Amino acid sequence: MTTAVDERREQFKQDVAALGLGTAESGSGGKSRIVGMVLMIVGAVAAFVVYIASLTLSDLRDLVSYQLLSTAFVAVTLVGAAVYIASAVSKVLKLWLVRQLLEGNAQTERIVEALSRDKI
């Protein structure tokens, strides 16, 4: 069973390489995942730093401004998570679409072959 799965996987990799889809799109997806990860880390670290800095304050106006700044950094973290997830999902959907295309082409070839045999 595993050999059939391995054979299908290798055939899929060969078909994708034949279509030229291997390297061109993967660079942009990798960049957006890195940007998303950086935004998540920077937002979380900056929010924590602002929180630590706010512990020394006693004036309510300063505390409110630090809360707003911390909330903005949490928003940056959420934007980074959204970018990361969108990039990961788009990669999966691209692979799924290519797989559907290749399976559709193979099914069409089998139907054409079956029809041509019936006419002979």
Q: What is the pLDDT of residues 78-114, one digit of tens each?
A: 999 999 999 999 988 988 888 888 888 888 988 988 8
Q: Is 11 inside any structural domain?
A: no
Task: Please give the residue range of the domain that contains residue 96.
Answer: 29-119
Question: Which pLDDT belongs to residue 28?
Answer: 63
Number of domains present in the structure of the chain: 1
Q: Is 114 inside any structural domain?
A: yes
Note the pTM of the prediction, 2 decimals: 0.69
Q: Is 7 inside any structural domain?
A: no
Question: Which pLDDT belongs to residue 21?
Answer: 64
CA 63 to chain CA mean position, Å: 37
Q: Is 6 inside any structural domain?
A: no
Question: Which pLDDT belongs to residue 6?
Answer: 81
pLDDT at 1 over 60: no
Question: Which pLDDT belongs to residue 27?
Answer: 58
Question: Which pLDDT belongs to residue 48?
Answer: 95
Q: Is 73 inside any structural domain?
A: yes
Q: Is 72 inside any structural domain?
A: yes
Higher-confidence position of 80 and 6: 80
Q: Is 23 inside any structural domain?
A: no
Higher-confidence position of 2 and 74: 74
Calculate the alpha carbon distances from 92 to 6, 13, 29, 86, 97 in Å: 19, 15, 11, 10, 9
Element (H, E) at 36: helix 24-54
Tens digit of each residue's pLDDT (9 = 90 or more) over 21-74: 654 455 567 899 999 999 999 999 999 999 999 999 889 999 999 999 999 999
Q: Is 13 inside any structural domain?
A: no
